[in-house]
Amino acid sequence: MGITCLQLRSIGISLMGVGLIIATAVTIAAASTALAGEADQKLLEQRDGLLQNAEDMVAHGGMGDAKAILHHCGEAARYADVLIKQLPTSHPGREEGVASLNDVIRQCKRVAEIGIHADPGVLLNPAIKARTAARASVKALGLAK
């Protein structure tokens, strides 16, 4: 009951097939990790833009610059919108984070509705609420620095 050449070849082919399957699985896992890393990097870039504009918006409010408040509020709302679109549905804390991001957008719309000719102090209240919502969204999404 020895192993024939045909049986040996069959075993060799089977082992190569298993090796290819393992190599393919490892390649797919590595590609998935790389894509997840890219997605995470994009989320972090959006986080940075959101927080920077939210902080600048309030800082300019303290200096009485209504035009800068409007500009940074518009940018913060844009970053919030992009974050909402980029968040995977399975992201932990997504529901709370999206609610806060929607609050950023809503408060920034209030700033835009009040307008550039209003007293900067009037713009500051919704701007501070937008900044608070931006910070809360970053915390809820687990993107805090």
Q: For position 39, what pLDDT does the model report? A: 64
Map out the domains of the chain with their CATH numbers: 41-140 (1.20.120.660)
Indicate yes or no: pTM above 0.75: no
Residue that the structure tokens 């999404």 belong to: 141
What are the average pLDDT values for consecutive 10-residue runs of the chain, which has 145 residues? 61 58 54 51 93 94 89 96 93 94 97 92 94 96 87
Give the amino acid at 11.
I
